Amino acid sequence: MTTRRNSLKSILGGLGTVTFGSAVSPQLSQAANTLTSYKGGPKRVIFFLQNQGFDPKTCIPTNMVNSGSLASAVLPEPIKALEPYKEKLHIINGLHGQHTSPAHSAFFGALGGYRGGDGMPPSAATIDHTLSEVLPETLLPHLCIGMDSLDNMAAKPTVAKLSARGAGQPIFMHSDPNYLYQLLYGGISTGDLRNQYEARSQMLETIEALALSEGAHLPIGEQKRYREFTSGFSEMNTLRARLEQASSHLQAFAPKVDSRYTNPEFETDWHDILLDLGLSALKSGTTNVLTIGSGRGEIFGSWKGLGIEKQGHNLGHMKQAGNPIWDKIRSYNVSMLIKMMEELESVPEGSGTMMDNTLIVYTSNNADKQHTSGKTWPVMLLGNCGGAFKTGRFTQLDGTRPINALYATILKAAGQNVERYNMSEKMAERYDSGQGVLREIIA
């Protein structure tokens, strides 16, 4: 019997070692053997970050002050649609990110757990990419998608603000679904999309050849730096070739292309398509880590498709709790979370479904609000990953453990022997009252 897992395994075997965006392929091939530390552990992780902050009042159950079960709790209006999924949900309040120095955004610091800032390069890898290095091998180690206003997404189809594979190595978010479709499914596309795909492939191959020839004339001391600068062209071409070779497998997962791709009425049309493309990449096994940046890690963002005329920075200066505008935005996010769960539950995996082996992390790239100190950083987790994580609970922490502790906990569940993530002992003395996993969320 041919299964999704066996099909992908045969493709990976035929394609050889995956190296795009990373040099850790030997670790990837061993990842499956390490997923035993905590009752199974995640096989894939999704990070969903909404900009402008995540006010705890919009997620903490009514009249709930102390940690406890969600069974009889009443969820607040913005996340009310999650009521049927409470047994899969863990709401966490009381983590902090003061060391990330958030203001309008913590930028790379939100997922890196280090100081961020507008225009500051990442100082280390972010947790999403770190996980992509240790989870089971895929064609594309890590996929990032960014949602914004229609004008911004069209003008800047890629932006790097949230994820990084190392110091000074940002990862771009894809914001134009036409480009992302061509990347993932160009090998099976037709019509204009096929023509654009082939033209772009020829262009990238030409640029790579030119870059290699020009680099050979540089002084020896400059050649290494130049190769690092131009390596992205080679990596992109290699990835496109691998995805094209896997087209017979990917075809079953490709979303249907419709008029929303080229003629969207609202930005939410593209938001919805980007989500579909991200889910298709997960379901096909193309990637195991998906990062979604609603607002693309900035202070911008638009939701006119929800009937909201205000956009961008102005939204951050409005209170969230009890605000019908923010209720709509948060409810829209929740509808996406539910869609992800339902889509993954529809795909068999092992003795259960893909959702049984998936962790969804929902939070903000800016703690609790605009112009925040990062004193409290609410997070919602969905999925228990075979019993690795506690669910159906609300946990109130005391504000002395950083978001880094959450990231270390997820890595621990993925079989990695870590006590801290991106935090030196000196930093921990100041910003972390403990060490190791968050016992409140790990089973």
The CA-based dihedral angle spanning residues 265, 266, 272, 275, taken in that order and rounded to the nearest 10 degrees:
120
> Which DSSP letter does residue 442 get?
B
Per DSSP, helices labelled H in 216-367 are 220-245, 247-250, 259-262, 267-283, 313-316, 324-345
Query: 3-class DSSP state for residue 393?
Result: strand
Copy the structure tokens of residue 231: 């390596």
4-180+265-431 fold: Alkaline Phosphatase, subunit A (3.40.720)
Res 274 pLDDT > 50: yes
The pTM of this model reads: 0.86
Copy the structure tokens of residue 47: 């990070």
Residues 6+ apart with CB under 8 A from 49: 110, 111, 162, 291, 292, 293, 294, 295, 297, 362, 363, 364, 365
* Rounded CA separation 143/218 (Å): 34
> What's the mean per-residue pLDDT of the chain?
85
The set of long-range contacts for 189-198, using a CB threshold of 8 Å and a minimum separation of 24, is: 189/257, 193/257
Res 363 pLDDT > 90: yes
pLDDT at 102: 92
* Rounded CA separation 150/265 (Å): 9
Can you state the angle between helices 267-283 and 177-185, rounded to 10 degrees?
Answer: 20
> Which DSSP letter does residue 182 get?
H
Q: How confident is the model at residue 175 (pLDDT cuts 50, 70, 90)?
A: very high
Q: Token match 């339902």: residue?
A: 342
Closest of 252, 333, 240 to residue 285, by C-alpha: 252
Q: Which of 13-22, 106-115, 324-333, 380-389 has the lowest mean pLDDT?
A: 13-22
Residues 6+ apart with CB under 8 A from 2: none
Res 23 pLDDT > 70: no
pLDDT at 130: 98
pLDDT at 442: 94
* Rounded CA separation 230/278 (Å): 27
